[in-house]
Amino acid sequence: DGGITQSPKYLFRKEGQNVTLSCEQNLNHDAMYWYRQDPGQGLRLIYYSQIVNDFQKGDIAEGYSVSREKKESFPLTVTSAQKNPTAFYLCASSMEGGRGYTFGSGTRLTVV
């Protein structure tokens, strides 16, 4: 079955540490996205990539970094520069023009 997989489901980070969230898709989608979800707010776009080896900042990119070395993979690194990283992170992918938009099951990141 085709789908989009995020791992881990839960992640704990100490102050000052970088952590990387994994996102893999086998839908043959060109575009991939990372969102952050906080209680009482709509999803906010962190980064997106429309093609391999290219990515663009979204609305809240500060303190985050990404790479897109393979079509199937779009990992997100939450750096120590992100001052309030505790949130639910969602990865998504789509075909050209936003068709077939599919979300992963999310990673909950908590700073301890």
In the complex with another protein, the residue whose CB is nearer, 67 or 103, is: 103
Residue 93 structure tokens? 């992918």
Q: How far is CA 85 from CA 31, 56, 76, in A?
A: 24, 20, 12
Nearest distance in Å: CB 30, another protein = 14
E-strand stretches of 8-106? 10-13, 19-25, 31-37, 44-51, 54-57, 64-66, 76-78, 87-94, 102-103
What is the contact surface with another protein in residues (CB under 8 A)? 6, 40-45, 56, 58-59, 88, 90, 92, 97-98, 101, 103-106, 108
Nearest distance in Å: CB 72, another protein = 17
H-run or E-run covering 83 = none
In the complex with another protein, the residue whose CB is nearer, 16 or 102, is: 102
In the complex with another protein, the residue whose CB is nearer, 19 or 89, is: 89
Nearest distance in Å: CB 87, another protein = 13
In the complex with another protein, the residue whose CB is nearer, 90 or 111, is: 90
Nearest distance in Å: CB 15, another protein = 24
Q: How far is CA 83 from CA 3, 67, 79, in A?
A: 32, 21, 9
